[in-house]
Amino acid sequence: MSDGGGGGGGRTIRVLNVAEKLSVAKAVAGILSKSSQGGMRVRDGRSRFNRIFEFAYTIHGQQWHMLFTSVTGHLMELGFKDRYRKWHSCDPLLLYQAPVRKFVPEDNLDIKRTLEEEARKCQWLVLWLDCDREGENIVFEVVEVCTEANRHLNVWRARFSALIERDIRESVHAGSCST
């Protein structure tokens, strides 16, 4: 991850990093925070299952304030509008033409609120999600929520194959993050 024109110029850049699950957020933050002089601070997000790990980080002389959190798999669901949701509310054939909506279900609203609050304070969003179809879908869900809260976010995708120090540091330092 380089400054890449995303702004900095000496000021600290705030980066929201989002992983697919808490264990990945904790592992990546643990690896990257090893070199942080102030150490890593852990705080609760709105969801008790998705903590926030914070630490200072330096890349190519640029200061970064890293915040790592997670989702718990999919953030959103697809469903019919209320009019079509009950078993006997309509002719089943109508469901083929019924509008479908994408929404954040009640049990994920605290995760959504955490992402929105943290995204508002950041300049960058880095996604540490699996590079498979499901992970790609979750990426778009997270990007949608975060960019609705902050339309000026620089969005990057971390590319790594294992939760080992070499892969994680290469993903951050060698510019293997991509938009």
Does 101 have pLDDT greater than 70? yes
| Other Cβ atoms closer than 10 A to 129 | 23
CATH architecture of 13-76+105-173: 3-Layer(aba) Sandwich (3.40)
Does residue 100 contact residue 41 with C-beta atoms inside 8 Å? no
Give φ, ψ of 63 to 5 degrees: -85, 135
Question: Highest mean pLDDT range out of 13-17, 57-61, 90-94, 173-177?
Answer: 13-17
Distance CA 64, CA 32 (A): 12
**Over the chain, what is the mean pLDDT?**
87
Q: Domain segments of the chain: what residues?
A: 13-76+105-173
Task: Give the model confidence (pLDDT) of 15-44 as tens digits.
Answer: 999 999 999 999 999 999 987 777 899 999
| Other Cβ atoms closer than 10 A to 161 | 9
Does 62 have pLDDT greater than 50? yes
pLDDT at 3: 47
Distance CA 70, CA 172 (A): 18
Mean pLDDT of 116-124: 97
Distance CA 133, CA 36 (A): 34
Helix (H, G, I), strand (E, B) or coil at 30: helix
| Other Cβ atoms closer than 10 A to 62 | 18
